[in-house]
Amino acid sequence: MLLLLLCGALAVAGIFLLRLTVFKQSRCKSDAKLHGKTVIVTGANTGIGKTTAMDLARRGAKVILACRDRRRAEAAIQEIIEKTGNQQVIFMQLDLASLQSVRSFAENFLKSESRLDLLINNAGIISDGKTKDGFGIIFGVNHLGPFLLTLLLLDRLKASGPSRVVNVASKAYESGKVDFDFLKTHKELSLGNGNMQLITTYCHSKLCNVLFTYELAKRLQGSNVTCYSLHPGFINTDISRYYSRWFRLLFTPLVWLLASDAEAGAQTSLHCALEPGIEHLSGHYFDQCSPLTNIDPKARDDATSKKLWELSESFCGLS
């Protein structure tokens, strides 16, 4: 028994050593102040989004928490105000699973706010089901909603420039693909609602995030708006809350042992939002607060990114 306990203790120590080395998260080093700036963070009532909003509020920005759940958002706002002393933290209703909600949010924002300096598309989901417009919910919330939101706010971003769009993607994009024939027919990235199939669909949606950022950068050339996608790291958030109970029982110990916290997960988002001198890297994918040069070629394919853009426009009624 003593030997088993000793082996267990050594295993746990080894795992924590692995966290401190292989899984160590870089930190945003920017000391930028954001007084007079306005930012939007989607999905900012919890996890990486809330931590990102907290940091931006601490720097003096006016922070819009764009969230679906008013109760959770207002609780997050109260906490952010208490910890930062910044009273300019505001909730605005946004349900990325409804294109009408996205349009209403953009309309309300443009009426009430005169500038937009940062748009951080942070919200993401792993769940089965459909959006209110009949799309697969992972495709709708992770790609289509943020796509429409960004396009509706682009003119305000340009007028407020220099400004930035930050899209929280994931290293999971490496396992993703976009089957356009399937997407046109089924309005979703893949079929199936088992845990592994949902993860596969999530990977496809993260590839969409990276492709969208790449295409957006090309279309923004010559403007004063830049954009970046990123991998936040292996982070302990509540994105897995829609997994089955048995899958969570298997997954939770792995997360507890290896995953970093939300503060670590926000660092690359903050780097892309704040670091000076990275404008020439618009459209690039970042990890550990650095641009990756060895990104999978499928994420920088001109034909695929253009086709995804045009199909997304069609789905959103923009073309």
Annotated catalytic residues are 202
Do 41 and 120 meet the contact criterion of CB atoms below 8 Å apart?
yes
From the list 11, 14, 52, 106, the residue with the least C-alpha distance to 270 is: 52
| φ and ψ at residue 169, rounded to 5 degrees | -105, -135
Alpha helical stretches, state H, the chain:
2-21, 47-58, 70-84, 99-112, 137-139, 145-159, 180-186, 195-219, 245-258, 262-265, 267-274, 302-315
Q: Which residues contact 10 (CB under 8 A, 6 or more apart)?
A: none
- Residue in 231, 286, 282 with CA at minimum distance from that of residue 260: 231
